[in-house]
Structure 1
Amino acid sequence: MEKSKVYYTTMKASFHENLPQKLKRLIKTAGIGEIDFENKYAAIKMHFGEPGNLAFLRPNYAAVVVDMVKELGGKPFLTDCNTLYVGGRKNALDHLESAYKNGFSPFSTGCHVIIADGLKGTDEELVPIDGEYVKEAKIGRAVMDADVFITLNHFKGHESTGFGGALKNIGMGCGSRAGKMEMHSAGKPFVNQEDCIGCYNCVKICAHDAPVITSGKASIDHDKCVGCGRCIGVCPKDAVCAASDESNDILNKKIAEYSLAVVKDRPHFHISLVIDVSPNCDCHAENDIPIVPDVGMFASFDPVALDRACADAVNRQPIIAGSQLDQMPHVHHDHFIDSAPTTDWKVCLEHAEKIGLGTQEYELIEI
Structure 2
Amino acid sequence: MAKSKVYFSRNTSPDTLLELYRTLGKQLEGNVAVKLHSGERGNQNYLRPEFVKPIVDEVKGTVVECNTAYGHDSGGYRSTTEEHIKVLEEHGWTKYFDVKILDAESPDLVLSVPNGKIIQENFVGKDLAQFDSLLVLSHFKGHPMGGFGGALKQLSIGCASTAGKCWIHSTGKSKDIDETWELDINQDEFIEAMADAAYTVDQYFKDKVVYINAIVNLSVDCDCCHVAEDPCMEDIGVMISTDPVAIDQACIDIVFNSDDPGRDHFVERVESRHGRLILDACEALGFGNREYELINIDED
- Tell me the TM-score normalized by structure 1: 0.74
1:307 corresponds, among 237, 248, 255, to: 248
Percent of aligned positions with the same letter in both sequences?
Answer: 33
**Structure 1 residues 181, 241: CA separation in 2 closer, same or farther (over 3 Å shift)?**
closer
Q: Distance in 1 between matches of 2:261 and 2:126?
A: 41
Runs of 4+ in 1 over 4 A off after TM superposition: none
Q: Distance in 2 between matches of 1:156 and 1:295?
A: 11
Q: Distance in 2 between matches of 1:24 and 1:285?
A: 30
2:199 corresponds, among 230, 252, 260, to: 260
**Structure 1 residues 26, 51: CA separation in 2 closer, same or farther (over 3 Å shift)?**
same
* 2:26 is the counterpart of 1:32: yes
Structure 1 contact 298–306 (Cα < 8 Å) conserved: yes
1:215 is matched with none
Q: Distance in 1 between matches of 2:183 and 2:56?
A: 35
Deviation at 1:316, TM superposition (A): 2.1
Q: Distance in 1 between matches of 2:271 and 2:284?
A: 24
* 2:43 is the counterpart of 1:113: no
1:280 is matched with 221
1:2 is matched with 2
Structure 1 contact 116–123 (Cα < 8 Å) conserved: no
Deviation at 1:341, TM superposition (A): 4.8
1:228 corresponds, among 146, 156, 175, to: 175
2:292 is matched with 362
Q: Distance in 1 between matches of 2:65 and 2:44?
A: 18
Matched residue SS, 2:136? strand
Q: Distance in 2 between matches of 1:145 and 1:166?
A: 21
* 2:43 is the counterpart of 1:53: yes
* 2:63 is the counterpart of 1:63: no
Structure 1 contact 292–314 (Cα < 8 Å) conserved: no
Superposed CA offset, 1:223-244 (max 9, x none): xxxx332xx4xxxxxx766335
Structure 1 or 2: larger helix share? 2
Q: Distance in 1 between matches of 2:197 and 2:203?
A: 10
Question: Based on CA coordinates, which of the two structures has the bigger radius of gyration?
Answer: 1
Deviation at 1:51, TM superposition (A): 0.6
Structure 2 contact 270–276 (Cα < 8 Å) conserved: no
* 2:120 is the counterpart of 1:126: no
Q: CA RMSD in A?
A: 2.0
Matched residue SS, 1:318? coil
1:144 is matched with 129
**Structure 1 residues 52, 170: CA separation in 2 closer, same or farther (over 3 Å shift)?**
same
Deviation at 1:61, TM superposition (A): 2.8
Superposed CA offset, 1:212-261 (max 9, x none): xxxxxxxxxxxxxxx332xx4xxxxxx76633532221111111111111
**Structure 1 residues 62, 124: CA separation in 2 closer, same or farther (over 3 Å shift)?**
farther
Q: Which amino acid aligns with 1:136?
A: E
**Structure 1 residues 349, 144: CA separation in 2 closer, same or farther (over 3 Å shift)?**
farther
Matched residue SS, 1:280? coil
Q: Which amino acid aligns with 2:269?
A: S
Deviation at 1:265, TM superposition (A): 4.2
Unmatched runs of 5 consecutive residues or more in structure 2: none
Q: Distance in 1 between matches of 2:14 and 2:171?
A: 42
Q: Distance in 1 between matches of 2:112 and 2:252?
A: 30
Structure 1 contact 139–175 (Cα < 8 Å) conserved: yes
Q: Which amino acid aligns with 1:309?
A: A
Deviation at 1:314, TM superposition (A): 1.1
Structure 2 contact 171–190 (Cα < 8 Å) conserved: no
Q: Which amino acid aligns with 1:117?
A: D
Deviation at 1:60, TM superposition (A): 1.6
Structure 2 contact 119–172 (Cα < 8 Å) conserved: no
Structure 2 contact 169–180 (Cα < 8 Å) conserved: no
Larger RCO (CA under 8 A, 6+ residues apart) = 2
Structure 1 contact 186–245 (Cα < 8 Å) conserved: no
Structure 1 contact 160–340 (Cα < 8 Å) conserved: no
Q: Distance in 2 between matches of 1:187 and 1:170?
A: 17
2:80 is matched with 91
Deviation at 1:123, TM superposition (A): 3.9
Superposed CA offset, 1:108-149 (max 9, x none): 2xx311011115xx4411111221211111111122331111
Structure 2 contact 81–104 (Cα < 8 Å) conserved: yes
Deviation at 1:187, TM superposition (A): 7.5
Matched residue SS, 1:32? coil
Aligned length: 290
2:181 is matched with 242
Matched residue SS, 2:78? coil
**Structure 1 residues 85, 152: CA separation in 2 closer, same or farther (over 3 Å shift)?**
same
Structure 2 contact 123–161 (Cα < 8 Å) conserved: yes
1:181 corresponds, among 144, 163, 166, to: 166
Structure 2 contact 40–78 (Cα < 8 Å) conserved: yes
Matched residue SS, 2:100? strand
